[in-house]
Amino acid sequence: MEIFEQVAAMQLACREVRRSGKTLGLVPTMGALHAGHLSLVRAARADCDVVAATIFVNPLQFGPKEDFSKYPRTFEDDCRKLRAEKVDMLFAPTTEQMYPRGASTVVHVEGLSEKLDGKSRPGHFRGVTTVVAKLFEIARPHRAYFGQKDAAQLAILRKMARDLNMDIEIIGCPIVREADGLAMSSRNVYLSPEERRQALCLHRALCKIESLVAGGERDAERLREAGLLVIAEEKAVRLDYLEIVDAETLDPVRDIKAGALVAVACFVGSTRLIDNVVLPPCA
Ligand code: PAJ
């Protein structure tokens, strides 16, 4: 695996891949890699001739009171995992490489970026779309792989690619979970054993909603209330949002017959966790 820190070197290497007629798959990450990230790498490995991963803890997508400085950084370990998955190239730039002094251009998907996580994390999605647009421009991959775990992020990146006519196929990959249902996240390491147990209520709420849908319930508000009750049972967990929305527009839906995204975000202690489930269309 070749490691690039410089934008120009990564750009050159990716240009060479395209020139040789090979397909290039890109997997953007912030490192602290777990099985969720590696599932994206495997999907890319299965589809593309050359796989490039990126590791960059993007300061632009963290709020001033968020965990940028304490975000887990495990670079050597990450490299080992990526090598084991036969990743060809790793782009791990410094902040100065990504945001040279004086850089002032941002990419902002208006509307969508202010919904769900965007409501409680102002500026977050603007940071995500700006960095991903830059990574796309540097690597110009044929395909880019993102997790359904960050459902709003995925919807926003799809919209960005469409709106800006980016010639890149955005591939969404399923959520990878721990054995007990907790969605894998680099932030799970922040949880104490007690919080780790409390954190299961996110998945429990989603399962409750799914089981009510299986039993015939179609009313989004009733489903939402049932999910809220499950979260409320875990007294130490603070709800940020639980919403039932259209997976593309992220606007609330009234019934779930045409399919819907159920997305939840909670603070467990000081750790913010998210999870979701996609309800398929049903009669
Ligand atoms: P990060 O949180 O490191 O996640 C990188 C990618 O892994 C994202 O596409 C995310 O959805 C996916 N992922 C994380 N946990 C997952 C899980 N349990 N199952 C499946 N996929 C999972 O998301 C980001 O970084 C950043 O916002 C980024 C897109 C890299 C831009 O900075």
Average pLDDT over every residue of 10-26: 98
Taking residues 187-194, what's their average pLDDT?
98
Q: Is the pLDDT of residue 283 over 90?
A: no
pLDDT score, position 259: 97
Q: Ligand 1 centre and the CA of 193: distance in Å?
A: 23
The alpha carbon of 12 is separated from its chain's Cα centroid by a whole number of angstroms, namely: 27
Domain 188-278, CATH: 3.30.1300.10
Q: Is the CB of 172 under 6 A from ligand 1?
A: no
Contact 277, 244 (CB under 8 A): no
40 lines ligand 1 (CB under 6 A): yes
Question: Mean pLDDT for the chain?
Answer: 98
* Residue range 118-165, pLDDT digits in tens: 999 999 999 999 999 999 999 999 999 999 999 999 999 999 999 999
CA 221 to centroid of ligand 1, rounded, Å: 29
The mean per-residue pLDDT over the stretch 87-115 comes to 98
Q: Which CATH superfamily hosts domain 2-173? A: HUPs (3.40.50.620)
Instruction: Please give the number of the atom of ligand 1 that sits closest to the Cα of 37.
Output: 7
Which residues carry out catalysis? 37
User: For ligand 1, atom 5, which residue shows the shortest CA distance?
Assistant: 29
Residue 223: pLDDT band with limits 50, 70, 90? very high
Give the tens place of pLDDT for each residue, 231-261: 999 999 999 999 999 999 999 999 999 999 9
- Would the pTM of this model clear 0.95, i.e. be above it? yes
Give domain limits for the chain.
2-173, 188-278
Nearest-Å Rg of the Cα atoms of the chain is 19
The finding on whether 107 has its CB within 6 A of some atom of ligand 1 is no
- What is the Å distance from ligand 1's center to 186 Cα? 9
